[in-house]
Amino acid sequence: LLGDCLSSFASCFPIAFFEPEFNGNNKHASNISQLSPEANDVMTNVARTVPHLTKVISDIEEHSEARIKYEDVPHVVEVILPCVCSYLPYWWSVGPQRTKQSNELKVTNVTVEHMNSVLGSVLKLINNNIDAPEAPWMKRIAGYTQGIILNSSTSLLEPYFLPVSQRLKAKCEDLYAQEQSLKHATRLESSEREDLEANLMKNYEILVRDLYAFGPLLIKYVDMHRSYWLKNGDLCADQLYNNMAEVFSTWCKSKYFKREELNFVSQHEIDNTSMLMPSGTNQSNAAGANSSDGSAMKSANEVSNGSAVGGKLKRKKRRLDKEKFTSLSVACIKRLLPIGMNMFGGREQELVQLAKHKMIDTKSAHDEKIENPTEEQMILDLTSDQEETIEEFLRDIFFAQEQGEVVNRNNWQSALYRKIGSKSHQTGIVHSQATSIKNMLKMAKVLFGLNLVDHPPTHNRGTWRKLVSSQRKKAIMAC
């Protein structure tokens, strides 16, 4: 609560209180010599207790470098960091890098370098606390850090963003391996299985917490620099995509991952829309503030209709929020998808699309044979046999094109893609045929997973649920 109050205070207070040397140039600052002796003493004591901006930023950097436990210095994360993250964007907007007239008096010295330094420390804190059992601040850090990411530089990708994505990828692979071993362990006792399952669910909950600390920052960072990476190319950006693609792949295959993310969002009342698009949310809030009279009148009318109507509206809103829920893993991979596709040339992109459509047809044909699918059968992924079939299909087409055979002579896009050639001519990196097929298969699986997320498969079990209501089910069972 104290950190939230200081954050709001720092975003609107008209004096740069972390930089007292510029108070003489600020028209809102009071001249201490003109105050009464009592007020002079109070202001002097306040000035002694407030540290300088450089000292505050150095404390945050030392905290992230020294791997100090949260319990030892909780004020750094809970109080100082929210205040600094609101202070820096506010004063950068009137700082030397934004002032057009050079003859104006300086009121602050906040620059982009200050924000990049704090953002790097925040990402290092997140990286140090991934998989930590007790880190409650990880659930809130993305909310007040997004303000300083709007002026971040591309140099933060390799030392800060990439290590966090690698840690998340490794954690996903480890947890999914545990999930598969638990699934195939048939000789365990019921109590032992329950303990292992509870421990696995707890680890997935921690993974979701870590993802929600890193994901919103990653999305904003990618939105800012995606066009630069697409024009110039960056191996670190390609690796970032590959790491987050593995996270998304685990989300598609794991039933515990999806369940724990939905529980996490519901428990902490997280609004993914406001988290992913704070600018649009702020605009809507501003618009709501401008029309506060009409909104207040509408709210008063709704309250006057009675508590029963209010309860129905709340239940309806919860249902709508659940229907509109978008996984953060899906949002991250959608933002990074152009970077992943940019790793392939035109001919390779055509093969990726062919493999994706083959996966969709294979999955649809398999699901039509199942009348009452289980939870494992409804997972958004292919079986190992189906994946081998797709890989063989992709290999045959790839070799046919390598030998000059035409897959579709009447398709002008195929001829154009063959003229474009491979991406290796632009990047200078030549992959073997096996590596190229493996990379194209991974890309096709990501597109296949996104297609199933946007267009979920329909089963006979879901159809019966729509046709038969719960009251009719009870009546049928009673007979």
Q: Which pLDDT tens digits describe the chain residue by residue (479 residues)?
A: 788 888 888 888 888 888 888 877 877 776 665 667 776 677 777 777 888 899 999 989 988 888 777 777 888 888 899 999 999 998 988 888 877 666 778 888 889 999 999 999 999 999 998 988 888 888 888 888 888 988 889 999 999 999 999 999 999 999 999 998 988 887 777 888 888 999 999 999 999 999 999 999 999 999 999 999 999 988 999 999 999 999 999 999 898 999 999 999 888 887 776 666 644 333 333 333 333 333 333 333 333 344 444 454 444 444 444 445 688 999 999 999 999 999 888 788 888 998 899 888 888 877 776 665 555 555 666 777 888 888 888 888 877 776 665 555 556 666 665 565 555 445 555 567 788 889 999 999 999 999 988 887 665 444 444 445 566 666 777 77
Tokens describing residue 416: 């154009």
Domain assignment present for residue 381? The answer is no
Q: What angle do CA 125, 126, 127 make, to 5 degrees?
A: 90
Q: 3-class DSSP state for residue 335?
A: helix
Distance of CA 188 to the CA centre of its chain: 37
Cβ proximity of 360 and 448 under 8 Å? yes
Distance from C-alpha of 176 to C-alpha of 143, rounded to nearest angstrom: 29
Using alpha carbons, select from 148, 159, 154 the residue that is nearest to residue 226: 154
Beta strands per DSSP E along 320-461: none
Dihedral sign of CA atoms 261, 262, 267, 270 in order: positive
CA-CA-CA-CA torsion for 2, 143, 221, 320, nearest 10 degrees?
-170
Cβ proximity of 377 and 370 under 8 Å? yes
Distance from C-alpha of 319 to C-alpha of 314, rounded to nearest angstrom: 9
The DSSP annotation for 15-31 comes to S-TT-GGGGGG-TTS--
Distance from C-alpha of 444 to C-alpha of 381, rounded to nearest angstrom: 12
Distance from C-alpha of 344 to C-alpha of 354, rounded to nearest angstrom: 14
Dihedral sign of CA atoms 30, 32, 34, 36 in order: positive
pLDDT of residue 408: 55
Distance from C-alpha of 138 to C-alpha of 329, rounded to nearest angstrom: 17
pLDDT of residue 146: 83
pLDDT of residue 185: 80
Return phi, psi of residue 347, to 5°.
-65, -40
Domain assignment present for residue 225? The answer is no
Tell me the residue range of the domain where 64 lies: 1-151
pTM of the model: 0.80
Domain assignment present for residue 209? The answer is no
Domain assignment present for residue 98? The answer is yes
Distance of CA 72 to the CA centre of its chain: 29
Distance from C-alpha of 28 to C-alpha of 469, rounded to nearest angstrom: 66
pLDDT of residue 429: 59
Residue with the two structure tokens 């079939």? 389
Domain assignment present for residue 404? The answer is no
Domain assignment present for residue 31? The answer is yes
Number of structural domains the chain divides into: 1
Amino acid at 249: S
The DSSP annotation for 63-111 comes to HHHHT--TTT-HHIIIIIHHHHHHHHHHHHTTSTTT---TTSPPS----
* 270 contact partners, CB below 8 Å, separation of at least 6: 212, 264
pLDDT of residue 468: 54
Domain assignment present for residue 375? The answer is no
Domain assignment present for residue 53? The answer is yes
